[in-house]
A and B are shown apart, each in its own frame.
Chain A
Amino acid sequence: MRKTLLCGTALLAIFGFATMASAEETIPVGHLACYTGPTSDVGVPYGNGVADAMSYINAHGGINGKKLAYETVDYSYKAPQAIATYKNWLSSIKPVAIQGWGTADTEALVQFVAKDEIPYFSASYSGHLTDPTGKSPKTKAPAPYNFFYGPSYSDTCRGLVQWAADDWKAKGGKGKPKFIHMGANHPYPNAPKEACAAYATELGFEVLNPIVYDLKPGDAKAQCLTLKDSGANYAYMGNTAGSNISLLNSCETVGAKPQFMANVWGWDENSIKAAQASGDGVAVPLGAPSWKDDAPGMATVRAISKMSDSSGETYRNLHYMRGVCAVYFMKDAMEAADKAGGVTGPNIKKAMEQMKDHVPAGLEGVCKPSTWTGEDHRGTTEISVYTTTYNGGDFTFNKQATVVVPRRDDWLGW
Chain B
Amino acid sequence: MASAHSRMRCGEFRTTYQEDMTIFPTPLARRVAVVSVLLLLLAPLCLNAYYLNLLIQIGYYGIAALGLNIVVGFTGQISLGHAAFFGLGAFASAWISNNSGIPVFFSIPLAGLLTLAVGLLVGIPAGRIKGLYLAIATLASQYILEDFFARAEWFTGGSAGAMASPFSVFGHIMNSDQSYFYVVLFYVVIMFMAGANLMRTRDGRAFVAVRDHYLSAEIMGINLNKYRILSFGISSFYAGIGGALFGHYLGFVSAEGFTLLLSIQFLGMVIIGGLGSVMGSMLGTIFMVLLPEVMEFGVHLVGSESTTLTQALAYIKEMAIGLAIILFLIFEPDGLAHRWRMIKNYWKLYPFSY
A residues at B contact (CB < 8 Å): 3, 6-7, 9-11, 13-14, 35-36, 74, 76, 78-80, 83-84, 87-88, 90-92, 104, 107-108, 111-112, 185-187, 190
Contacts and interface: CB of A to CB of B under 8 A. Distances in A.
A74 B311 contact: yes
Contacts of B311: 35, 74
B150 A11 contact: no
Contacts of A108: 160-161, 163, 252, 254
Contact of B39 (A3, A9, A13): A3
Given A88-B53, A185-B150, A190-B160, A104 B47 contact: no
Contact of B48 (A14, A79, A185, A190): A14
Contacts of B160: 104, 107-108, 187, 190
A80 B87 CA distance: 12
10 contacts: A7-B47, A36-B314, A78-B256, A79-B257, A80-B254, A83-B251, A83-B252, A84-B250, A91-B49, A104-B161
Nearest to A38: B256
Contacts of B151: 185
Interface of B: 39, 43, 46-51, 53, 150-151, 158-161, 163, 177, 250-254, 256-257, 311, 313-315
A183 to B, nearest CB: 10
Contacts of A187: 159-161
A186 B151 CA distance: 10
Nearest to B57: A84
Contacts of B163: 108, 111
A182 to B, nearest CB: 15
A111 to B, nearest CB: 7
Contacts of A7: 46-47
A212 B267 CA distance: 32
A42 B4 CA distance: 67
A88 B49 contact: yes
Q: Is the interface of B mostly helix, strand, loop or mixed?
A: helix
Contacts, number: 78
Nearest to B250: A83
A108 B49 CA distance: 22
Contact of A91 (B39, B161, B177): B177
Report which residue of B163, B177, B252 has the largest number of chain A beta carbons within 10 angstroms of its beta carbon.
Answer: B252
A11 B51 CA distance: 11
A88 B50 contact: yes
Given A74-B313, A80-B250, A11 B46 contact: yes
A1 to B, nearest CB: 11
A185 B146 CA distance: 12
Contacts of B39: 3
Report which residue of A74, A90, A108, A190 has the largest number of chain B beta carbons within 10 angstroms of its beta carbon.
Answer: A108
A87 B252 CA distance: 12
A82 to B, nearest CB: 9
Given A3-B39, A79-B257, A186 B47 contact: no
Contact of B252 (A13, A35, A80, A185): A80
Contact of B159 (A10, A14, A36, A185): A185
A185 B161 CA distance: 12
A80 B48 contact: no
A14 B45 CA distance: 13
Contact of B51 (A6, A36, A76, A185): A6
A83 B252 CA distance: 8
Contact of B161 (A10, A79, A88): A79
A74 B317 CA distance: 12
B48 A35 contact: no
Contact of A79 (B53, B254, B313): B254
B159 A80 contact: no
A3 B42 CA distance: 10
Contacts of B51: 6, 9-10
Contact of A190 (B47, B50, B159, B252): B159
Nearest to B163: A111
Nearest to B162: A108
A321 to B, nearest CB: 21
B48 A91 contact: yes
Contacts of A80: 250, 252-254, 256-257
Contact of A104 (B48, B254, B313, B314): B254
Nearest to B246: A80
Nearest to B258: A80
B36 to A, nearest CB: 8
Given A11-B46, A79-B256, 17 more contacts: A3-B39, A6-B47, A7-B47, A14-B48, A74-B313, A80-B254, A88-B49, A90-B49, A91-B48, A92-B50, A104-B159, A107-B160, A108-B163, A185-B151, A185-B158, A190-B159, A190-B160
A54 B16 CA distance: 71
A88 B57 CA distance: 13
Contacts of A36: 314-315
A92 B177 CA distance: 13
Nearest 10 interchain pairs by C-beta: A91-B49, A80-B257, A79-B254, A7-B46, A108-B252, A36-B314, A187-B160, A10-B47, A10-B48, A185-B159
